[in-house]
Chain A
Amino acid sequence: MAHTIDRSRPLVELRDIRKAFGGVQAVDGVSVNLYPGEVVALLGHNGAGKSTLMKMLAGAYPIDSGDTLIAGEKVQIRTPSEAQAQGIETIYQTLALADNLDSVSNLFLGREKLTRWNTLDDHFMEGQARKVFQRLNKNFTNIRVPVRRLSGGQRQVVAISRALYFNARILIMDEPCAALGPEETAMVGGLVKQLKSDGVGIFLITHDMPDVFGLSDRLAVMKNGKLVGTYRTADVTEDEVLGMIIAGKRPAGKAQAEHA
């Protein structure tokens, strides 16, 4: 289906987004775009505002001011459910798993399949879950134990499965590889490439330079709630990126890139 994707129109446009917590301006007039089949890395120190920006897109925080456009249409995203309805899925750094529930319950959490008597359709959900988990990890079979007993990689599989099963068209990944071993990191990398070719747009929050240069098409750097700049990843060097993150200094003579 890759050839039918219209890559000329942005999937997400965030315009002049602002958010304050008490007196602290966490996000201060940030604008950033995301195109179908594109990975945009969001970079910055802890507290730079990148997670807050993404949480607003995911419906976890309300936006103070600014516009959100999805596929060219202005939308109001006030709750996680409204974000999900727009095809926005989020893989949080904390994974957002209920540790006391099993993998199947976590995959469908908040979006359970019900029988016609409005009770939980456990057999259906287990069957579907088994298929999604198999796609990501062949050895993942203990899907009925509480997720607190699972390994870091298996827990990540559960979190990622939500995005896969519910057909994300916009995916937010917050440090997806922070707690993973090399094999699982490679799995996440492979998955990102596959989703890209399916036309999914991905915001990738990360601190890891190999991830940035290996996976992203463009990168946007934030510092103290403000956007430093957005560049094509191929146009900048690692040192220039670090300069933006640490000093907020734009690389000399490099053009910013608003498009994929």
Chain B
Amino acid sequence: MSSPPLWRRVGIDLRLLLMCLLLAVMAIAFHVLSGGIFLSPENLYNVAQQTAVVGIVATVMVLVIVARHIDLSVGSVMGFVGVLIAYLQYTSGWSWPAASLAGLAVALLVSIYQGWLTAVLGVPSFVVTLGGLMSFRGAAFLVADGKTQPVNDEFFQRLGGGYDGGIGVTATWVITAVVAVALFARMLQKRRARQQHEMPTEALWVDLLLTALPVLALAAFAWTMNNYKIADKPEAQGIPIPVLIWAVVAIVLSFIVHRTRFGRYVFAMGGNPDAAALVGIPVKRVTLLLFGLLAVLVTIAAIVSIARLNAGTNSLGTGMELYVIAAAVIGGTALAGGSGSIFGSVLGALIMQSLDSGMLLLDVPIGKRMVIIGQVLIVAVVFDVLYRRRFGDN
């Protein structure tokens, strides 16, 4: 048997590499066209923190789509939960942790309801959540009678990024160093495990290089965030808190996908639902759990979102489902189910948001932006179909 090429052996996903390149090309093009604004630390800081809300929900949308479901109600549920958390703080005078937990409880009830209809009664999730898209937008209106609910807690506001929402220079470098050390340690530990089990390993320089690249990208990001200084503040911003939350969410979900039974079952159900049932996977329970996980992340996104806007409004998250699904699909999640990656959704969310912000910088009017973004989603799906046809379904 001939050995596969190096890039395939070390598990490089050609498609994600293409997405990285596309993102880089887009960024440079916008940078040039905007006269040097797009790649400035200030703009990158804003793009990063704006992407976080969509990015957080997109990570779990990947799993929902992998399991052959869809959730069109994420934007509405986020609006509903967001207004509720803001209402409980502003109008009812609750502390932010209590209000957030209540929001989580309501999100879980919503997900149990929608998950039960889907998993137990077998109603297609498309229909259930299409109804939810309308109903929960209405519920968001009902919570505060359509009135905007300001959020005033200073700590809570920092969760959304913005003026006081960076973690600062020192913390940024500490986190970067810790992650870098962890990545190298994991690489070495993997090599050792493979050698112990007498499996072939790549040359050390290959593994070093493959670990160094993401570390360098991370360091570059940290350096950029540490160079954004708001005029009247003594210290630079550092990594925005929403981005940190998004990163933690993405790492936790990657762990769930690769290291837990639940993650494996989600992929098995998407690859072959009949087989999943025949080998004894508790399909209904896994589906309900998946909707529960979605509720947790929608709540986190709602918290970040109202903290960023300093208010909960009944229009919060309107149209977000499109961005979230687009991020997942651009990141290589197959709408037919069975394949997708969390890291892909991170790239997909960044591509969507960069496109949106870049066009905003170039003063492209809202109508044209909507036309273009809608078509980009279609281009992504067409690319997906052609790519799978060309390179086999992987």
Chain A residues packing against B (C-beta within 8 Å): 58-60, 79-81, 83-84, 90, 92, 94-101, 105, 109-112, 114, 118-120, 123, 126-127, 141-142, 146, 148-149, 162
- Bound Cα distance A146, B261 (Å): 18
Contact with A along B170-208 (1 / 0, CB 8 A): 000000000000000000000001000100000000000
Asked, given contacts A99-B272, A100-B338, whether A123 binds B280 with beta carbons under 8 Å apart, the answer is no
Q: Are A110 and B274 in contact (CB under 8 A)?
A: no
Q: Are B268 and A148 in contact (CB under 8 A)?
A: no
Closest residue of chain B to A80 (Cβ to Cβ) is B280
Contact with A along B249-264 (1 / 0, CB 8 A): 0000000001111001
CB B223 to nearest CB in A, in angstroms, measures: 34
- Bound Cα distance A119, B262 (Å): 10
- Bound Cα distance A141, B278 (Å): 26
Contact of B339 among A81, A95, A100, A112 (CB under 8 A): A100
CB A252 to nearest CB in B, in angstroms, measures: 40
Contacts of A141 in B (CB 8 A): 1
Asked, given contacts A79-B280, A92-B278, A110-B281, whether A100 binds B259 with beta carbons under 8 Å apart, the answer is no
Asked, given contacts A120-B261, A146-B394, whether A96 binds B280 with beta carbons under 8 Å apart, the answer is no
Contact of A60 among B261, B277, B281 (CB under 8 A): B277
Q: Are B279 and A110 in contact (CB under 8 A)?
A: yes
CB B279 to nearest CB in A, in angstroms, measures: 4
Q: Are B275 and A94 in contact (CB under 8 A)?
A: yes
Contacts of B258 in A (CB 8 A): 120
Closest residue of chain B to A108 (Cβ to Cβ) is B264
Q: Does B291 contact A (CB under 8 A)?
A: no
Q: Are B280 and A81 in contact (CB under 8 A)?
A: yes
Q: Are A105 and B264 in contact (CB under 8 A)?
A: yes
Closest residue of chain A to B278 (Cβ to Cβ) is A96
Closest residue of chain A to B392 (Cβ to Cβ) is A149
Q: Does B232 contact A (CB under 8 A)?
A: no
- Bound Cα distance A109, B197 (Å): 22
Q: Are A80 and B279 in contact (CB under 8 A)?
A: yes
* Subset of 26 A-B contacts with CB under 8 Å: A81-B280, A84-B280, A92-B278, A95-B275, A96-B279, A97-B272, A97-B275, A98-B267, A98-B271, A98-B276, A99-B271, A99-B338, A100-B339, A100-B393, A101-B264, A101-B268, A105-B264, A109-B264, A109-B276, A109-B279, A110-B279, A112-B264, A118-B260, A120-B259, A126-B197, A146-B393
CB A194 to nearest CB in B, in angstroms, measures: 24
- Bound Cα distance A71, B270 (Å): 37
Q: Are A109 and B259 in contact (CB under 8 A)?
A: no
CB B301 to nearest CB in A, in angstroms, measures: 26
Contacts of B271 in A (CB 8 A): 98-101
Closest residue of chain B to A83 (Cβ to Cβ) is B280
Asked, given contacts A123-B193, A148-B393, whether A142 binds B278 with beta carbons under 8 Å apart, the answer is no
Can you name 8 extra interface pairs (CB under 8 A) apart from A96-B272, A98-B268, A98-B276? A60-B277, A98-B267, A98-B338, A100-B270, A109-B281, A110-B276, A110-B281, A120-B260
Closest residue of chain B to A141 (Cβ to Cβ) is B1
Q: Are A119 and B260 in contact (CB under 8 A)?
A: yes
Contact with A along B370-394 (1 / 0, CB 8 A): 0000000000000000000000111
Contact with A along B266-310 (1 / 0, CB 8 A): 011011101111111100000000000000000000000000000
Contacts of B392 in A (CB 8 A): 149
Contact with A along B29-54 (1 / 0, CB 8 A): 00000000000000000000000000
Contact of B274 among A83, A96, A119 (CB under 8 A): A96
Closest residue of chain A to B337 (Cβ to Cβ) is A100
Closest residue of chain B to A81 (Cβ to Cβ) is B280
Contacts of A80 in B (CB 8 A): 277-280
Which A-B residue pairs are the 3 nearest by beta carbons?
A100-B271, A80-B280, A98-B271
Contacts of A105 in B (CB 8 A): 264, 268
CB B271 to nearest CB in A, in angstroms, measures: 4
Which of B275, B338, B393 is the most central at the interface, judged by chain A CB atoms within 10 Å of its CB?
B275
Contacts of B1 in A (CB 8 A): 141-142
CB A123 to nearest CB in B, in angstroms, measures: 5
- Bound Cα distance A148, B334 (Å): 16
- Bound Cα distance A90, B274 (Å): 14
- Bound Cα distance A90, B280 (Å): 11
Q: Are B274 and A94 in contact (CB under 8 A)?
A: yes
Closest residue of chain B to A147 (Cβ to Cβ) is B271
Asked, given contacts A114-B261, A141-B1, A149-B392, whether A109 binds B268 with beta carbons under 8 Å apart, the answer is yes
Closest residue of chain A to B334 (Cβ to Cβ) is A100
Asked, given contacts A100-B270, A123-B197, whether A60 binds B278 with beta carbons under 8 Å apart, the answer is yes
Which of B271, B338, B392 is the most central at the interface, judged by chain A CB atoms within 10 Å of its CB?
B271
Closest residue of chain B to A120 (Cβ to Cβ) is B259
Q: Are A98 and B272 in contact (CB under 8 A)?
A: yes
Contacts of A123 in B (CB 8 A): 193, 197
Closest residue of chain B to A97 (Cβ to Cβ) is B275
- Bound Cα distance A110, B268 (Å): 10
CB B204 to nearest CB in A, in angstroms, measures: 21
- Bound Cα distance A103, B365 (Å): 52
